Chains A and B, each alone.
Chain A
Amino acid sequence: MNGPELQAKLYAGYVKAALRLGTPYLQYRPTGPANPIASGNLVQSLTAAFDPAPGFEFHHPALFGKPVWYALLDGTQTVVGDYLVGSAGTYFIAAMQPLLPIAAVLCNRVLTINRPAGNAGVGAQPYGGVIAGSEAAELTAWPASVLTKSRGEMGDTRLPGDVKLPWSEILLPYGGIELRFGDVILDDNAVRYTVSATERTDLGWRLLAVQTTA
């Protein structure tokens, strides 16, 4: 038996386990920077089960701050970056490394990522600062994991009632777009973030962003 044959048997075992443990999920495969969870991106319905531990013992619940889950599903049908939408939530496939469990990230927010645009013309131009209306959309309506990190700092306005603004670690699929520091993120709860650091990995984007508010 070689690696590919072993991989096939492993995924076949995942399928059998998922049939007994799993629930149905809709599988979406993003095809562009906008709306990955759209009917046009629907691939199929498949059965999957998720465990926060890679041993699939289903002994321990997921706790705070742990976005990565391990998936029992038919790995021959999925690729890294696929979204799975089901009753337990929305996941994206982060890793399908050979002979290792399939890693998925549980999403808790839907993000739109914009890039502040400058003036396009030459000579006298309109105001040069960051203006919300002039931002160009990079990614639109992408489910992602947004988890608060411990660090925080005061915002720019420093009003009497201000508190320190939290930093967040954001995980989302690659999406075909090169994100940069300074990009602006708006979540489905109208919370605004500014990207401070970007890390493109084979699992997808890991972003460090600071929440911004007036």
Chain B
Amino acid sequence: MADLADVEQALVTLISAALYPTGTGNPSAIGSPVRVYRGWPNAAALDSDLAAGTMNVSVFHDPGMSRNTSRYWPVPSQASAVAPTITVTVSGNAVTIGGIVTAGNVAGLQYGSPLVTVAYIALSTDTSVSIAAALSALAPGTAANGPVLTFGVVHPLQTTTPRGSTVFPFASTAGVMVGNVVYGPPIFAGGPGFPVVTTVKSFISNVSITTSHPSANLATAGGLFTFAPTYPIAAAVMVPQPVLTEVRRQDQGFRVSCWCTTPALRDLTAGLIDNAIAGLRNASGNLTRFLPIATTPQMGWIRWARTYVNDVPSKDNLWRRDEVYMIEYPTTLLESDPAMLFGGGTLSIGTPAVGTAQMGAPQPL
């Protein structure tokens, strides 16, 4: 958020660039070392600096020179784009959590018919394994093993051949029976040994079955088999985006004080600073009155107000000159708003799925 401190820091940066046009690794434009900082100097350090021939330039706001100039309706805009660091990849009925876990990233899944959406906000203590486990807990009918979450319904194998079913030949590969079964509604409507299982019904059109039993007939062997869904599974990640809103605007006086060891150096220092501010240019190279503030696209409207030359402390080997500028700048709120995770679907199963509430992206700049 733009604040008084940001404006002062922007002035410090501008003044430092004017006094050290080729960088602080080279001598300053006045030939003597200069320190530029926010806040008043502390007496002990200033004494030491003056004795050593080092100039000081301090930047401080002027108390009493404030005016509320708010006149714009608050309009949120995206400050910058932040990319999520967690990845979720779908392969068949398996979802793998990867990437770098960053607190605040949201991993989500969307599946089923009607669509069901679950989402999980990563904590600083999370890992890809704990995120997979958390998503599995939100999505019934899934199982997590390490960072991989698998969709499927584990169901006890029936000992009675289901009437009306068609069992195609199974192939045995490495001890796993794989095949296709087509179930019709009558089976679930009352066939002996097959109670109506709501969860299975949703996979009724076409399922693939695997069983851990090596050789027995699927219909008669004991053990477990898995119904793997054939509907699409979608996965997405999201990270909340910084959104900036100007909520106020004020005009404030800022005092740039030059603390110099000689009158000549004072003239040189203050002159360079005033020239830099008066000769402010924008990115296109044109003269401007707008000073960039902080890293966000905010500007301060800067105007010269007054100057003050003070020879009173010359007995302390100090020559001072102040330049006061009025800067009108915005006060902004920086918020973190969720971005869109999925474009539709039911928001939760049971508990609310945080992070999917905003269905539209923040307003562009």
Known: A123-B16, A123-B20. A128 touches B43 (CB 8 A): no
Whole-angstrom distance between the Cβ of B317 and the nearest chain A Cβ: 16
CA of A151 to CA of B38 in the docked complex: distance in angstroms? 34
Contact A127 B39 (CB under 8 A): yes
B residues less than 8 Å from A182 (CB atoms)? 42-44
Known: A117-B45, A118-B48, A182-B44. A126 touches B37 (CB 8 A): yes
Contact A180 B44 (CB under 8 A): yes
CA of A130 to CA of B46 in the docked complex: distance in angstroms? 11
B58 on the A face (CB < 8 A) = yes
Whole-angstrom distance between the Cβ of A197 and the nearest chain B Cβ: 14
Contact B42 A125 (CB under 8 A): no
A residues less than 8 Å from B43 (CB atoms)? 116, 182
Q: Which residue of B lies closest to A126 (CB)?
A: B37
B149 on the A face (CB < 8 A) = no
Among B34, B45, B48, contact of A122 (Cβ-Cβ < 8 Å): B34
Contact A124 B37 (CB under 8 A): yes
A residues less than 8 Å from B13 (CB atoms)? 124
Contact A121 B42 (CB under 8 A): no
CA of A126 to CA of B39 in the docked complex: distance in angstroms? 9
Q: Which residue of A lies closest to B49 (CB)?
A: A118
Contact B38 A127 (CB under 8 A): yes
A119 on the B face (CB < 8 A) = yes
Known: A124-B16, A128-B56, A128-B58. A119 touches B35 (CB 8 A): yes
A51 on the B face (CB < 8 A) = no
Contact A125 B36 (CB under 8 A): yes
Known: A125-B35, A126-B37. A119 touches B44 (CB 8 A): no
From 100 to 143 in chain A, residues with beta carbon under 8 angstroms from any chain B beta carbon are: 115-119, 121-130
Q: Which residue of A lies closest to B12 (CB)?
A: A124
A residues less than 8 Å from B166 (CB atoms)? none
Q: Which residue of A lies closest to B44 (CB)?
A: A182
Q: Which residue of B lies closest to A182 (CB)?
A: B44
CA of A129 to CA of B39 in the docked complex: distance in angstroms? 6
A residues less than 8 Å from B15 (CB atoms)? 124
Q: Which residue of A lies closest to B46 (CB)?
A: A118
B262 on the A face (CB < 8 A) = no
B22-63 near A? 1/0 per residue, CB < 8 Å: 001000100001111111111111101100001010100000
CA of A32 to CA of B45 in the docked complex: distance in angstroms? 24
Among A121, A130, A180, contact of B35 (Cβ-Cβ < 8 Å): A121
B residues less than 8 Å from A119 (CB atoms)? 35, 37, 45
Known: A116-B44, A128-B58, A182-B43. A122 touches B33 (CB 8 A): yes
A74 on the B face (CB < 8 A) = no
Whole-angstrom distance between the Cβ of A137 and the nearest chain B Cβ: 14
Contact B37 A127 (CB under 8 A): yes
CA of A41 to CA of B36 in the docked complex: distance in angstroms? 44
Contact A123 B34 (CB under 8 A): yes
User: Taking each of B15, B28, B43, B49, which has the highest tally of chain A beta carbons within 10 Å of its own beta carbon?
Assistant: B43
A183 on the B face (CB < 8 A) = yes
A8-52 near B? 1/0 per residue, CB < 8 Å: 000000000000000000000000000000000000000000000
Whole-angstrom distance between the Cβ of A183 and the nearest chain B Cβ: 7
Given contacts A127-B37, A129-B41, 18 further A-B contacts (CB under 8 A): A115-B44, A116-B43, A118-B35, A118-B45, A118-B46, A118-B49, A123-B16, A123-B20, A123-B28, A123-B36, A124-B13, A124-B36, A125-B35, A125-B37, A127-B38, A127-B39, A129-B42, A130-B42
Task: Jot down 26 A-B pairs with beta carbons below 8 A, ordered by A.
Answer: A116-B42, A118-B35, A118-B42, A118-B45, A118-B46, A118-B48, A119-B37, A119-B45, A121-B35, A122-B33, A122-B35, A122-B54, A123-B35, A124-B36, A125-B35, A125-B36, A127-B37, A128-B35, A128-B37, A128-B56, A129-B40, A129-B41, A129-B42, A180-B44, A182-B43, A182-B44
The 6 closest A-B pairs by CB, nearest first: A118-B45, A123-B24, A124-B16, A128-B37, A129-B39, A125-B37
